[in-house]
Amino acid sequence: MSSVTTEFADGVAVFTIDRPDARNAVNQEVATELAAAVDELERRDDISIAILTGAGGTFCAGMDLKAFTRGELPFVPGRGFGGLTESPPTKPLIAAVEGWALAGGCELALSADLIVAAEDAKFGLPEVKRGLVAAAGGLLRLPKILPYQLASEIALTGEPVTAPRLHQFGVVNTITASGGALDGARELAARIAANGPLAVKATKQVLGMAVRYTDPDLFTAQSVPLDPVFASADAQEGALAFAEKRAPNWTGR
């Protein structure tokens, strides 16, 4: 059974992470299948925009930490976490968020061009609570779209922030009733898909260039301070503590 389901119709693609029992946590299979879905999106001239969502009332809980402790990484070389955070599609992407968008799940949402979220949805970068770092673009993108102090609070405390608060700052485009995020995203996507596909694609490219929203040089540069963290004993301890439902014992090594 596929971990990512796809739908292509009326100029719009819908990608659904389908691991509800794991809160749609991303493992290697999800990353590979999302990358393949993006490749199909890029090939198809009849599709000009995509929606990314999660099954079962949760967008994505981030990296599958149990898989991480087994040495499995949810990345695709050159594409990043989930197969798209470092190299999102050249066509616009909308994140339709229900429930939680945490850690890498939040970073998947931030890699989208637009976000539609249910009123009770929550976003967060809790990596620091696990001895890890938000390395999939969250630390690069948040300061571009939020005041620096608020971005720092979210990233350094690891505490969640609600969709309505992010809507106040323009991070979330549209707030819907609970359960209505995908329908809201479809409505927004239809408005964009009605426009000239070449113009839409070029417009996204220039917008991203203007703010360096997807800059491979930045992803390369951040590896200098971040790689030692992922190789540390604390990183393994944080993931194990989460899996074992206990408080971590940090050593600073």
User: Which sign does the torsion angle of CA 83, 175, 7, 215 carry?
Assistant: negative
Q: What is the pLDDT of residue 181?
A: 98
For 167-212, write each residue's pLDDT tens digit: 999 999 999 999 999 999 999 999 999 999 999 999 999 998 877 7
Does some domain include residue 219?
no
Does some domain include residue 187?
no
Predicted TM-score (pTM) of this structure: 0.90
How many CB atoms sit inside 10 A of residue 65's CB? 19
Does some domain include residue 243?
no
Per residue in 123-156, is it b (16+ CB within 10 Å) or e — as a string? Answer: bbbbbbbbbbbbbbbbbbbbeeebeeebbeebbe
In DSSP notation, 216-227 reads HHHHHHHHHHHH
Does some domain include residue 235?
no
How many CB atoms sit inside 10 A of residue 247's CB? 7
- The domain in which residue 73 lies consists of 4-178
Does some domain include residue 31?
yes
Per residue in 78-116, is it b (16+ CB within 10 Å) or e — as a string? Answer: ebbbbbbbbbbbebbbbbbbbbbbbbbbbbbbbbbbbbb
Does some domain include residue 250?
no
The CATH number of the domain holding residue 26 is 3.90.226.10
Eight-state DSSP code of residue 232: S
Does some domain include residue 51?
yes
Residue numbers of the chain with a pLDDT score lower than 50: none
CB of 216 closer than 8 Å to CB of 123: no
Angle, to 10 degrees, between the axis of helix 138-145 and the axis of helix 148-157? Answer: 150
Match 């991303």 to its residue by tokens.
26
Distance CA 82, CA 198 (A): 26
- Helix (H) or strand (E) segment spanning residue 101: strand 100-102
CB of 72 closer than 8 Å to CB of 35: no
Residue 129 in tokens: 């609570």
- Helix (H) or strand (E) segment spanning residue 6: strand 4-9
Q: Give the residue numbers marked as catalytic.
A: 107, 127
Burial of residue 168 (number of CB atoms within 10 Å: 0-12, 13-18, 19+):
exposed
- Helix, strand, coil percentages, rounded to 5, for the chain: 45, 20, 35
In DSSP notation, 62-95 reads -B-HHHHHTT---EETTTEETTTSSS--SS-EEE
Q: What is the pLDDT of residue 213?
A: 67
Q: What is the pLDDT of residue 209?
A: 82
Structural domain count of the chain:
1
Does some domain include residue 82?
yes
